[in-house]
Structure 1
Amino acid sequence: MPYLELAGFGSAALIRTFDLRYDLISALVECWCPETHTFHLPCGECTVTLEDVALQLGLPIDGSPVTGVSALAKPAALCYSLLGASPGNDESTLSGLKFTWLKSNFQHLPDNAIEEELMCAARAYIMHIIGGVLMPDANNNRVHIMYLPLLTDLHNVRSYSWGSAVLAMLYRELCRTTKPHAADIGRCLILLQSWALYRMPFLASVSHQPYVYPLVNR
């Protein structure tokens, strides 16, 4: 936890997860207007804001943009350098890290783990949070390796506006899903659902399970 706190992901590590209500999410998608990035509801327009992201996820919303290259020259070497292990040596096919691999390699650490091992485990955990909770794709089984270089210096990780990246990708996914050919949806759907129930609490009355807000257990 000290290393996660150092990187600015201490709160994100405590995010509550719950079953998604796809009926609610589908209804929100139908109300989404790509031109204005807002939901058009009978009572007016509204949308998820950076303030909501900070409240719900506890992520930084100020700082440098989360940018990088989608294809790295030596991804296996990068994994060995920052994680201490790599899922494979084939540089041409290594583009993402499977959650099953991250779990099997970093779920348990020895009691006498040295600082370098703890930092590698913290990076692996942040990668799992990014790909599994904050910016998952529709398959939700791996995280793209392009985020790993941003975790090189854990002191510098919190200088990036991770909250802005999460919100931008959610907006982009909502726009994509409004197209007729779209058959699935990804990205931070727990944020979308929790935002809807937090801002429109009357929706929670039809739920069959309790919800606690915000998502971060502070």
Structure 2
Amino acid sequence: MDENGRLLGRITIDDVVDVIREEGEHQFMGQAGLSEDEDMFAPVMVSAKRRALWLGVNLLTAFLASWVIRQFEATLDQIVALAVLMPIVASMGGIAGTQTLTLAIRGLALGQLSHKNARWLLAKELAVGTINSAIWAVVVGVAAGLWFNDSSIALLIAAAMTINLIFAALAGAILPIALEKLGIDPALAGGVLLTTVTDVVGFLAFLGLATIYLL
């Protein structure tokens, strides 16, 4: 409707479904660093070139996470349990961040999210991250404590889990908005950068706290 009350057009349910389907495909492809124009029958060199960039970016971020772990090599040598539990902290952070990232990218694509209501999203995701971190920190802490029969390990992984889940939720909300502002497709770059944040923060929190309090 225009300002005079005249009908300008209409949006049918088919239009809405098409948008959701296209965005779903875009996001699904983006999680692998691909775009919708990626064709399975494209020439080898064309496909290789399209994918090489994000493989390279991912490699650099993987080296960064490995570098963080290397800084705590002495700690890992003394407390083997840390090496066993590290993937749990990183994985939980990755999933929590991806949930928020997915919602934010979808909101941007459908016009539901903009810089005007970004603060609302951050506040909401901070609250969600805090609640989930409290729940799963207790679950994982109890499981780790029973597994290794060590209350210190339980408290340590619970604290690291809390830190990483909260950071993951915030990163999942901030990254899509920031990338779009920079002119970078959030669906293509968001997943790679989010993984870096959750891995680095998770390892740094877990191993850093272990170095401070267990050695």
TM over 0.5: no
Greater strand content? 1
Larger Rg, first or second structure (1 or 2): 2
Greater helix content? 2
Report the TM-score, using the length of structure 2 for normalisation: 0.28
